[in-house]
Structure 1
Amino acid sequence: MKVFSGWRRLVFGLPLIFLLTHLFSVMELNKNSKLGEPHKQPNKKFDHLVLGPAAGQGLSNRLQCQGTKALNRTHSSNSRSGADGSITFVTVFAIYNSSLNVGDEKSSSTVFGDASYNKVGRSMALLNVFINFIQVTMPQSKVIILTDPVSDLPVRRNRVSLYPIQGEYSRDKLMLQRIRSYITFLESKLQELSWKPRNITHYIFTDSDIAVVDDLEQIFHDHPNFHLALTFRNNKAQPLNSGFIAVRGTPDAILRAKLFLQEVLKVYSSKYRNASRMLGDQLALAWVVKSKPHFDVSRFAKGLAFSEDIDGSSILFLPCALYNWTPPEGAGQFHGMPLDVKVVHFKGSRKRLMLESWNFYSSSLDISDMLCLILGSGRTKYDF
């Protein structure tokens, strides 16, 4: 009986031994196969441009490029219709030098050319390029920077001024604060006009990561009746981009723009507060516009400017393809760049490209060639 009991334990133990042996074999096989495979690098952001074929080749009314050389010319204005200074650009920007210690500066340093930037240096470099493009394209225009009164913002530029507005400028609440700052600014302009009438100044509210590459005064000449203008794209969830908002400088238009933004802020605070860090403003814009029963959302797919009355405000909708064009990233911009593009928006991981573009323009002084650099550089992700 003892012999039989031992033999039974041996028989029942064989499956377990076989299973363990099989598992070890599979693990070893997987290990060896991984060693034989080429090492896969994790996706990383490049510190240089990677040029590829420019999208839109052969398409009419698209920029045609051979490398960084434009084969046709963009419809850039040479008349400088904005030379009278009737346009003022307004952006929200705040930095805090005291919030960065030495360790943070060292760990976040970025090399660009012969310079090394910390977080504050990178932000300031981009802000200065934003101003540079405006002063080249529309040299008589002014730039106003809405900022936190305690922000240490070292800006000393001609025709550039700071406008402190109390608020919450933390990264998590910056988009909400941006709308509040726009409203406060418009209220102040209404007050100024009430006691001191003056020549009309139109306002264009933008993100600070854009490049103005053509004169924008034609918006107000070609569309003389709108109160404010928004940019749209063919995107069902987020058809409106808040990075570009134009406001006519008449008292009525400024009032209408303020009331419209107040409604957007109300929707933002009540419906999309969880998205306060980003996207909430665009979702709120879309809700305010699309919630009107008479609004035809199918027009967003057509890519043509149109006007619509929304609660007494005449709103001009301008295509992002011209007034808020975003450089390609990853798979590329399949339809290329329109010849009459006015504004390039370096969103997200395209910040370094903005600086690269300015440096290229500084050496070539050719907007069209610079646009070829932008158009052909979207084959990988890079940041600054």
Structure 2
Amino acid sequence: MIVCFGWRQFLLFVTLVFFLTHFLSVMELHQDSNVKDPHQKKQKKFNHLVLGPPAGEGLPNRLQCKGTKALNKIQISTSSNISNGGGGVSFVTIFTVYNSSVDDVKSRDAAATIVGRVSYNKVERSMAVLNTFINFIQLAMPESNMVILTDPASRLPLKRNRVTVYSVQGEYSRDKLMLQRIRSYIAFLEKKLEDHSREPTQKITNFIFTDSDIAVVDDVAQIFNKYENFHLALTFRNNKQQPLNSGFIAVRGTPDGILRAKVFLEEVLNVYVTKYMKASRMLGDQLALYWVVKSHTSFDEKTFNKAEPFLEEIGGASVLFLPCLVYNWTPPEGAGQFHGMPLNVKVVHFKGSRKRLMIESWNFFKSSSSSSTEDHDVSVSVSDMLCLVLSSGRTKYDF
């Protein structure tokens, strides 16, 4: 019995040692994982461009690159920017400056971001994106105008040719900015209707409402000639949850086009407020857009599966749907991102952390075009610049 009892004690001791050792190993592993997880889960943001293999290699009708050198060229239009029987095009965007007086930005925000040889604080950073937005438009469509919708409290240090700052009262907090954007668009369209009622014979101006983080690389005014029967245009992608993107909305500048676009956006605003206020900071406008479109029984969602333009009657408005692949291409989001950049791309959308890439792309274009001869084909420099975008688009940057 004494021997048996001693053996049992021995087994109990061995078992206790085994479990204690295993427990300590698990605790150590858990502590190690706590240290490593933040680096594993949160992708590092870079403060310089990082080139990777460009998507679309070997695919037809896609930009082919070797580093930042384009092996083929994107198709840049050579036609005039004047459209619709003598009318022009105005780009409209919403922009505001937060918690800052632009008179003393030099003394604020000591944590600066450096792009190339230029140092930016937060306000200057935002202004650099806005100015780059204007630069690209003036390159691709020099005859077009730009309207900046902003908070009356914002004093923007912006003096550019063909650019007008238009104040709209509203709530411009970060949490409500997407909501305010729709309200500002509606207020702007109401003003244009009033202008038409006072001067019925005034020249037609078509409008393209966009985010301020896009680069127009080709003439998009042609849609008003190519597709003559639409009132407003939206961009779509093959995405079941969010097939519509609000970063590009075109409105025909006739009184009928403006009115129908205003009514359409008022319906979107109503859906936004009643159904998607929890997503007011991000995505609420896109969810509301999709709700309005899909709520019409005649609409077939399968049409989003093909990257081809199509027309639909939505609530009395003729809506043209344009593929994001061409009119709202985003690296690496959106339809077609894994298949490279189409040669007929017209708009590149630098969403989220790609703002640095937007500014770097413009700087790259300037340096490459300025070093060329006077008779250099602009499409070559633009194509090389787009190779930079294509090779860098998957990287998270510090903007």
Assess same fold via TM > 0.5.
Answer: yes
Give the C-alpha shift of residue 168 in structure 1.
0.4
Residue among 82, 87, 93 paired with 2:89: 87
Q: In structure 1, the residue corresponding to 2:188 is in which secondary structure?
A: helix
Which amino acid in 2 is paired with 1:368? S
Distance 1:53-1:192 versus aligned 2 partners, 3 A rule: same
What's the RMSD between the two structures over aligned residues?
3.1
Distance 1:82-1:214 versus aligned 2 partners, 3 A rule: farther
- Superposition map of 1:207-356 within 5 A: 207-328=211-332, 333-356=337-360
Which residue does 1:371 correspond to in 2?
Answer: 386
- Superposition map of 1:1-384 within 5 A: 14=13, 18=17, 21-23=20-22, 26=25, 30=29, 43-82=43-82, 86-96=88-98, 98=100, 105-107=109-111, 109-197=112-200, 198-328=202-332, 333-365=337-369, 366-384=381-399
User: How many Å separate the matches in 1 of 2:394 and 2:354?
Assistant: 11
Give the C-alpha shift of residue 69 in structure 1.
1.2
Give the C-alpha shift of residue 287 in structure 1.
0.4
Distance 1:32-1:65 versus aligned 2 partners, 3 A rule: same
Deviations 1:338-367 (A, max 9, x none): 101000000011111000100011012311
Distance 1:178-1:20 versus aligned 2 partners, 3 A rule: same
User: How many Å separate the matches in 2 of 1:121 and 1:340?
Assistant: 33
Deviations 1:87-127 (A, max 9, x none): 000000000353799996123x2111222211101100000
Give the C-alpha shift of residue 43 in structure 1.
2.5
Any runs of at least 4 consecutive aligned residues in structure 1 with deviations exceeding 4 A, and if so which?
A: 10-17, 27-34, 39-42, 99-104
Give the C-alpha shift of residue 78 in structure 1.
2.2
Distance 1:194-1:110 versus aligned 2 partners, 3 A rule: same
Q: In structure 1, the residue corresponding to 2:166 is in which secondary structure?
A: strand
User: How many Å separate the matches in 1 of 2:230 and 2:127?
Assistant: 34
User: How many Å separate the matches in 2 of 1:73 and 1:336?
Assistant: 14
User: How many Å separate the matches in 1 of 2:311 and 2:246?
Assistant: 17
Q: In structure 1, the residue corresponding to 2:100 is in which secondary structure?
A: helix
User: How many Å separate the matches in 2 of 1:350 and 1:201?
Assistant: 31
State TM-score, norm by structure 1.
Answer: 0.90
Q: In structure 2, the residue corresponding to 1:127 is in which secondary structure?
A: helix
Percent sequence identity is: 64
Which residue does 2:374 correspond to in 1?
Answer: none
Distance 1:12-1:170 versus aligned 2 partners, 3 A rule: same
Distance 1:116-1:27 versus aligned 2 partners, 3 A rule: same
Q: In structure 1, the residue corresponding to 2:238 is in which secondary structure?
A: coil
Distance 1:55-1:17 versus aligned 2 partners, 3 A rule: closer
Which amino acid in 2 is paired with 1:172? D
Q: In structure 2, the residue corresponding to 1:129 is in which secondary structure?
A: helix
Give the C-alpha shift of residue 299 in structure 1.
0.5
User: How many Å separate the matches in 2 of 1:213 and 1:101?
Assistant: 31
Q: In structure 2, the residue corresponding to 1:136 is in which secondary structure?
A: helix
Distance 1:102-1:16 versus aligned 2 partners, 3 A rule: farther
Deviations 1:240-284 (A, max 9, x none): 000000000000000000000000000000000110001000000
Tell whether the 8 Å contact from 2:357 to 2:393 is kept in structure 1 after alignment.
Answer: no
Give the C-alpha shift of residue 165 in structure 1.
0.4
State TM-score, norm by structure 2.
Answer: 0.86
User: How many Å separate the matches in 2 of 1:370 and 1:78?
Assistant: 19
User: How many Å separate the matches in 2 of 1:352 and 1:271?
Assistant: 34
User: How many Å separate the matches in 2 of 1:31 and 1:250?
Assistant: 65
User: How many Å separate the matches in 1 of 2:51 and 2:149?
Assistant: 36
User: How many Å separate the matches in 1 of 2:398 and 2:24?
Assistant: 44
Give the C-alpha shift of residue 81 in structure 1.
2.9
Which amino acid in 1 is paired with 2:390? L
Count of paired positions:
376
Distance 1:240-1:23 versus aligned 2 partners, 3 A rule: same
Q: In structure 2, the residue corresponding to 1:241 is in which secondary structure?
A: strand
Structure 1: give runs of 5+ residues left out of the alignment: 1-6
User: How many Å separate the matches in 1 of 2:39 and 2:301?
Assistant: 44
Q: In structure 2, the residue corresponding to 1:334 is in which secondary structure?
A: helix
Higher mean C-alpha deviation, range 89-98 or range 153-162: 89-98
Deviations 1:3-24 (A, max 9, x none): xxxx9xx889957963675257
User: How many Å separate the matches in 1 of 2:30 and 2:275?
Assistant: 50
